[in-house]
Structure 1
Amino acid sequence: MKKFLWFAGAWCIGLQVTLAQSPRYPIIPYPQQLEARAGEFVITPATSLVLPANPSPYMIETAQLELLLTQALGKPLPTVKKAVKGAIVMRQNPALAGEEDYTLEVSSQELLITAKAPAGFFRAIQTLRQLMPAEIEDPKAPDLERVAIPAMSLKDHPAYGWRGMHLDVARHFFSIDYLKKFIDLLALYKMNKLHLHLTDDQGWRIEIKKYPLLTSQGAWREFNNQDSVCMEKAVNNPDMAIDTSHIIHQDGKTLYGGFYTQEQLKDLIRYAAARHIEIIPEIDMPGHMMAAIRSYPFLACSSETGWGKTFSTPICPCKESTFGFAEDIFSEIADLFPSKYIHLGADEVEKTSWANSPLCAEVMKANNLKTVEELQSYFVKRMEQFFHSKGKTLIGWDEILEGGISPTAVLMYWRAWVPDAPIKAARHGNQVIMTPGNPLYFDGTPDRNAIYNVYHFQPVPKGLTAQEATHIMGAQANIWTEYIPSEKRADYMFMPRMTALAEVLWTQRADYEGYLRRLNEQYKRLDLLGVHYRLPDLDGFTEDNVFVDKVNLHIKKPLTDMTIRYTTDGSIPDEHATILPDNYVISEPQQIRLAAFSPSGNRGDIYTLRYRKEAYRPATVVKDARPGLKLTYYNGTFKRAAKIKETADSSLRVANAVIPEGMGKGGGPFGARINGYINVPTTGIYSFYLTVDDGGILYIDDQEVVNNDGWHAPFQKSGQVALEKGWHPFKIAFVEGGGGYTLKLEYSVDGGKPQPVPDSWFGAGR
């Protein structure tokens, strides 16, 4: 009997695991606890909806659930006050710990939703939405006769209170309609903060009634060098075209820009609040203020404005008129935004004008300030006192540590090359929001590693105790828009990467393979929502490919309903291009351009594949090689790996193609060469994948295999080479521009899965 009970119990556990991993529960972020059960609850137009005993606090959420069900079934469900068999029941549960906590108990007889507060009911509704067919998102789709919700027992709550996204609307401007779409996506994946970067050198985007020139002049500019880059890229990628709806012609000039009125923002704030998303405004001071200084020149320390050694001229913290201006601005901001937080920015401040100002010398002497960093701290602390008078909490980028930080300020950590900044702040007692550039700057062009890197991000820095870690509020990803000129490009840059961050911050439990399976179930919904997301990567090739005799190009589709189209005449594949056959035979050198398309017509990355014919490169005789490689270090700034100077500063031996931690003086720029030999175990076509930040080039047999040169965020490029079994000369040239670096080398052979190159393959002379 015991044996039978053990078998039955094991079968139940196995059933739960199988069901939980199946597409029955394609929820992102995945719940904290989900006990899968057999069966389902079927919703039809006759299903009753039971409201909470005291429905008034939950009227918005009740209406949202009713709208969701009406959207699916074509008619509203009847509402009743008391539970009946076969009903959807909403019930307040004061025993739950947090405002966003909720539970779902689903059987064939009842669908019970409990929550402590309105936010919890809203999060539960988003979970139900993801469990419903994607077709409910299509207003043109036929009404469903039934919707089946899989049976389960679910208990859920967020791991972190700050689950955010940032959008820079200053460099390139985005419509209110797009911001609402952006908010809808945040809400769908249980994010709860929207950080709006409203001002910068390139544009002032918010109406300030006391200073009308900030928008009548400061919201508009002529095309700049960033626009030129976008226009150049738009030749091959229409998503990079400047949005013409934000272009005007005035006084014989073509101007780009726009701004939000305070009434528009009030409407947006209400829209976000209904979805339990808090909007945090950022007015960046004292740097990044040229849009304001051009309109109100008195804000600068002198008439010499523009671009300094590193950044633009800041406002002057040594004039009382500057503080009067800032307080006027933030008075209107505080009245407009109900958020308890205001972001001051305070990053990347060019302090040369302060150092040269006699007035600043007097202020520094009067306040016993010894450095311009302390002068910045003086400005930040004065502004924080004003924020407190308005009932607000100051957030600043991590530069606010320099010169001293108030214990009540919130630090937003972004400089990955200053790893001790969040640790210092947490130990000082400050609250910290994690947003390091790698991997949470979503303006960096995504590659096939982008989602993996976000999903494996750890919000709590190493070195903090459990108590100190409580100061980590959570994290957010940032979208800086210098090179994001359109709404479609913005979609591409943050989706689906944001879904990985959503799971990290809500669930905080790694299940990457399960997440990818669930993500595949989300794409159809995103198509119907009109999201121009980045399609999953295509594999089975590199950018530069070789063949000895002939080769078959076979691409396994990551999504079954995806269509792959190609051209061979150099043109960009569109929806009319030829469909790539299952096995495309290549026997002559050629160039192929291909792209995947979703059923909605969303086009993925455009891949340019170059094929050349070559014989296997003969192996080299290497006698008495020592394990590892030689790394030669070059101090200085090198814009390209191909231009590293010849005189080395130092050298060391490394086990693999890696840059050891601590390279570069104080996180500064440097170059490196890694030399030796690679010993490949079999004759074959080897693909190499080089991911670098900033730039690098891989050479084998003294010939270039992968060129990923130039300063850029972490990005992968690839190439192939035909190698005989044995030793081959190996070299990587690498440059770092300062601010944190990445070097990662992977390989595959004859079309296999990419994997790290083993240490045992490398050798160097004695």
Structure 2
Amino acid sequence: MLRFYSSLLAVLVCAASVQAQTPAQRYPLIPYPTSLSPATGQFTITAKTPVVSVDKRFSNEAGQLRTLIEAGLGQKLPMTGTGPRIVLQHDPSVTAAEGYALTITPQLVTLKAAQPVGMFRAVQTIRQLLPVGIEKPGKAVASLTLPAVTIQDQPTYDWRGMHLDVSRHFFSLDYLRAYIDRMALYKFNKFHLHLTDDQGWRLEIKAYPKLTSEGAFRTYNNQDSVVLKRALTNPDFDLPKKFLRQQNGKTEYGGFYTQAQIRELIAYAAARHIEIIPEIDMPGHLSAAINAYPMLSCTGQSGWGKTFSVPICPCNEPTYTFMETVLSEVIALFPSQYVHIGADEVEKSTWAQTPACQELMKREGIKNVEELQSYFVHRIERFVQSKGKKLMVWDDALEGGLKPSTAVMYWRSWVKDAPQKAARNGNDVVMTPVSTLYFDSPPGSQSVENVYKLAVVPEDVTTQQTQQFLGAQANLWTEYIPTENRADYMTMPRMTALSEVVWTGKKDYPSFQQRLLSHLLRMEQMGIHYRLPDLTGFAEENVFVDKATLRIRKPLDSYILRYTTDGSQPQTTSPTLPDGLVIDKPQTVSVAAFTPSGVRGDVYTLRYQQQDYAKPVAVGTSKAGLQVSYFKKAFKSVKEMTDLKADSMFTAANLVVPPSVNAPSFGLQYRGFLTVPETGVYSFFYTCDDGGVLHIADRLVVDNDGNHFPIEKSGQVALSKGAHPFSADFIEGGGGFTLKLKYSLNGSAPQDIPDSWFTR
């Protein structure tokens, strides 16, 4: 069972109401301000309420606020006035560039900042305090209200980023602008635009026109085949027809941005105080460029090595001429102080076999191909610095050595000391760990909470080194994300959790959960196809003895629950799920929540089977805890551990992984007995990264096998009071693990299993 918002159920109210009962609902701000002092009353905005800014430096922000309110009212606002009004003021005492002060009383709204960027952040706070209906203007309304409050606010971190990969799948400029709008609403300031990769080159380079005439389009590849198969049951995976073309009798897919279009996008982002950081991947991930210009590789052709694509050749001078020419156009186009070149996942086998590289390594005293990559990165960095820019790379590039001047994005969660290593080397660091902030990983019951718990500054760094951690960024790689709707689903609402982590610094997850309810309603009005909250109160694999009753509480009152029992997926025309659906025979029920506009949430397939209560077994003399077999190797499935001899054995009080289990990849088999205190139908929730399988009373309860990101799966088993055989298998393929097991009895809230229940 998925439980994304399980703890929200006790606090469900109409969060759209300005007069909500709790401060979190009266002031549903994400990210939450540094300081907020509640006040009584409210300010009413009518067509007679002026937005006043006497300081020209805030004319852009005043115009945006006026446009926002006028769209909500459906009427124009005056420029001046003496009654209740909204005033934007310059205040040099606000020391932080992005800081602001906001005071709302029944008679006056005052926004204060020292810089336009701070004033813009204040406008976004006003936007979130206004009713959600302003996001979808319709007929004129007589008034809008703002709750009275005093706010002092500024960000904790300077780098508050979102990333979008437009090379694997192409996205329209309209969607990029919408993406920027959402970033602005949640006070992000860095937009990392991944423009090139093996699958497509998306930026016009005038010196090398074939990069886009050929490199921006492709015939269907293996990733396209996967999404087209998924599109048979989910249209959000269908390739957009507007990006298909017929060329030489073949269907090609792709697109690119002209430099003029990118200039317009940069200006659009700048008006919202967002910096666009371009990424031109090198020396690897460049098949699209090598296909167009084969001389770039050491072999004169593209292709794939053991793991990654053939890179460009760092040993030939024409390579540097090409890349410097490309970067010159990129740097002239983007005002960002950073240029990202990737430098990750480089297949270096062709370098080791190339005479030119062997000669270069000998001449320069380069010991191995990792240092050869560093040679390439250092040369590119010197060029970038000559243009007044700062180089940024992924943390893979640390392996061969980096200069302290290079900024590093940490993504390899399994290389746990990489951020500390970079900080010790003097590099600035942006945290983007794959385990938490790769939003292309499937969202699940704990995704939002995991993002919210992110540590921007890791342990084991000095006080001085903490200053080198600029902030954090979430990445959306689009191998299997071909549409805007799917991108929405993968980013929202996880993006909102990250915004609070990097802005506010202090965390209050229960408060965040309450405030998020209002933002789901706002997203609905904005037309965002966000991932709906998880439905709760059931398992995926269910059992009943005589009969069972399915009851699901709606996360929001506006949602409609619909179901089917014929194997089809619920649609807007499917019947509404009753308050209690009686199950008295084995069957499969599919359930989904729908928003008022018809957006469907995840489909839950609930399988019901009839069981007798498993009889307890007699256990003689026993000891506390479980017997655990430890296998130090990589597995793709728990079945691969069968009949193998364990490397070692130990005991564990519960289903935990002790520090002594430190192999990069491993498997564990937990064996013993589970003694339950009363007879009933027990639900078990098994979260695994990578895979796991749970048996109780010699019955399969949860199958969560395979190599995957953290996923919670659930199942039920009917148990009599007493001891039952317990078997749990778990595998970790490398990159960081998650292992959790919770239970509930007869529909109670999930909770940890007491250690006292386990014996061996």
Could you state the TM-score of these two structures normalised by the residue count of structure 2?
A: 0.95
Out of 700, 713, 716, the residue aligned to residue 704 of structure 1 is 700
The answer to whether the aligner puts 1:624 opposite 2:621 as a matched pair is yes
Matches within 5 A, 1:396-545: 396-545=393-542
Out of 626, 646, 649, the residue aligned to residue 648 of structure 1 is 646
- Residue in 2 aligned with 1:36? 38
Q: Tell me the matched-pair count.
A: 741
How far 1:524 sits from its partner (Å)? 1.9
- Residue in 1 aligned with 2:752? 756
Aligned to 2:500, the other structure's residue is in SS state helix
Matches within 5 A, 1:550-699: 550-644=547-641, 646-661=644-659, 663=661, 665=663, 667=664, 669-699=665-695
Aligned to 2:464, the other structure's residue is in SS state helix
Aligned to 1:690, the other structure's residue is in SS state strand
Distance across 2 between alignment mates of 1:160 and 1:19: 32
Out of 334, 341, 344, the residue aligned to residue 341 of structure 2 is 344
- Residue in 2 aligned with 1:240? 237
- Residue in 2 aligned with 1:75? 75
- Residue in 2 aligned with 1:294? 291
Q: Which stretch shows the higher mean deviation, 295-304 or 450-459?
A: 295-304
In 2, are the aligned partners of 1:21 and 1:514 still within 8 Å (CA)? no
Partner letter of residue 72 of structure 1?
G
In 1, are the aligned partners of 2:295 and 2:301 still within 8 Å (CA)? no
- Residue in 1 aligned with 2:58? 58
Out of 25, 29, 32, the residue aligned to residue 23 of structure 1 is 25
How far 1:326 sits from its partner (Å)? 0.8
Distance across 2 between alignment mates of 1:259 and 1:732: 50
Matches within 5 A, 1:97-108: 97-108=95-106
- Residue in 1 aligned with 2:389? 392
Aligned to 2:66, the other structure's residue is in SS state helix
Matches within 5 A, 1:722-737: 722-737=718-733
Distance across 1 between alignment mates of 2:299 and 2:708: 35
How far 1:243 sits from its partner (Å)? 1.9
- Residue in 2 aligned with 1:121? 119
In 2, are the aligned partners of 1:20 and 1:36 still within 8 Å (CA)? no
How far 1:701 sits from its partner (Å)? 2.2
Q: 1:22 to 1:395 in 2, by over 3 A?
A: closer
Q: Which stretch shows the higher mean deviation, 479-488 or 219-228?
A: 219-228
In 2, are the aligned partners of 1:20 and 1:34 still within 8 Å (CA)? no
Matches within 5 A, 1:183-222: 183-222=180-219
1:590-646 per-residue CA deviation (whole Å, 9 max, x = no partner) reads: 001110001111110011110001011112222332222222222333222222252
Q: 1:444 to 1:662 in 2, by over 3 A?
A: farther
How far 1:19 sits from its partner (Å)? 6.7
Aligned to 2:672, the other structure's residue is in SS state strand
Distance across 2 between alignment mates of 1:349 and 1:627: 49
The answer to whether the aligner puts 1:742 opposite 2:738 as a matched pair is yes
1:97-121 per-residue CA deviation (whole Å, 9 max, x = no partner) reads: 1111011111112111101111111
Partner letter of residue 208 of structure 1?
I
Partner letter of residue 507 of structure 2?
A
In 2, are the aligned partners of 1:554 and 1:584 still within 8 Å (CA)? yes
Distance across 1 between alignment mates of 2:612 and 2:541: 15
Q: Which stretch shows the higher mean deviation, 688-697 or 647-656?
A: 647-656
Partner letter of residue 529 of structure 1?
M
Aligned to 1:111, the other structure's residue is in SS state strand
Partner letter of residue 45 of structure 2?
I
Q: Which stretch shows the higher mean deviation, 439-448 or 460-469?
A: 460-469
Partner letter of residue 93 of structure 1?
D
Aligned to 2:340, the other structure's residue is in SS state strand
Partner letter of residue 532 of structure 1?
H
- Residue in 2 aligned with 1:47? 49
Partner letter of residue 108 of structure 2?
E
The answer to whether the aligner puts 1:267 opposite 2:269 as a matched pair is no
Distance across 1 between alignment mates of 2:482 and 2:627: 43
In 2, are the aligned partners of 1:19 and 1:36 still within 8 Å (CA)? no
Distance across 2 between alignment mates of 1:316 and 1:583: 65
Aligned to 1:697, the other structure's residue is in SS state strand
Q: Which stretch shows the higher mean deviation, 121-130 or 615-624?
A: 615-624
Q: 1:569 to 1:20 in 2, by over 3 A?
A: closer
State the Cα RMSD in Å.
1.6
Distance across 2 between alignment mates of 1:142 and 1:196: 37
- Residue in 2 aligned with 1:256? 253
Aligned to 2:47, the other structure's residue is in SS state coil
Aligned to 1:659, the other structure's residue is in SS state coil
Out of 177, 181, 191, the residue aligned to residue 178 of structure 2 is 181
Aligned to 2:475, the other structure's residue is in SS state strand
Distance across 1 between alignment mates of 2:403 and 2:78: 55
1:624-677 per-residue CA deviation (whole Å, 9 max, x = no partner) reads: 322222222223332222222522222222222123346454x3x332222222
Query: 5+ unaligned residues in a row in structure 1: which ranges?
Result: 1-16
Aligned to 1:508, the other structure's residue is in SS state coil
- Residue in 2 aligned with 1:88? 86
The answer to whether the aligner puts 1:717 opposite 2:713 as a matched pair is yes
How far 1:303 sits from its partner (Å)? 4.1
Aligned to 1:402, the other structure's residue is in SS state helix
How far 1:22 sits from its partner (Å)? 4.4
In 1, are the aligned partners of 2:294 and 2:301 still within 8 Å (CA)? no
- Residue in 2 aligned with 1:138? 136
Aligned to 1:362, the other structure's residue is in SS state helix
1:558-590 per-residue CA deviation (whole Å, 9 max, x = no partner) reads: 101110000111111110000000011111110
Aligned to 1:89, the other structure's residue is in SS state strand
How far 1:358 sits from its partner (Å)? 1.6
- Residue in 2 aligned with 1:10? none
Q: 1:335 to 1:489 in 2, by over 3 A?
A: same
Query: 5+ unaligned residues in a row in structure 2: which ranges?
Result: 1-18
Larger RCO (CA under 8 A, 6+ residues apart): 2
- Residue in 1 aligned with 2:543? 546
1:440-465 per-residue CA deviation (whole Å, 9 max, x = no partner) reads: 11001111111111111111101123
Distance across 2 between alignment mates of 1:41 and 1:246: 47
Distance across 2 between alignment mates of 1:452 and 1:748: 21
Distance across 2 between alignment mates of 1:87 and 1:102: 18
1:696-716 per-residue CA deviation (whole Å, 9 max, x = no partner) reads: 211212332111112111111
How far 1:18 sits from its partner (Å)? 9.4
Distance across 2 between alignment mates of 1:18 and 1:509: 23
Distance across 2 between alignment mates of 1:88 and 1:755: 49
Distance across 2 between alignment mates of 1:603 and 1:759: 40
Distance across 2 between alignment mates of 1:526 and 1:300: 46
Aligned to 1:100, the other structure's residue is in SS state coil
Q: 1:654 to 1:36 in 2, by over 3 A?
A: same
How far 1:85 sits from its partner (Å)? 4.2
Aligned to 2:26, the other structure's residue is in SS state coil
Aligned to 1:627, the other structure's residue is in SS state coil
Aligned to 1:579, the other structure's residue is in SS state coil
Distance across 1 between alignment mates of 2:307 and 2:659: 26
How far 1:527 sits from its partner (Å)? 1.1
Could you state the TM-score of these two structures normalised by the residue count of structure 1?
A: 0.95
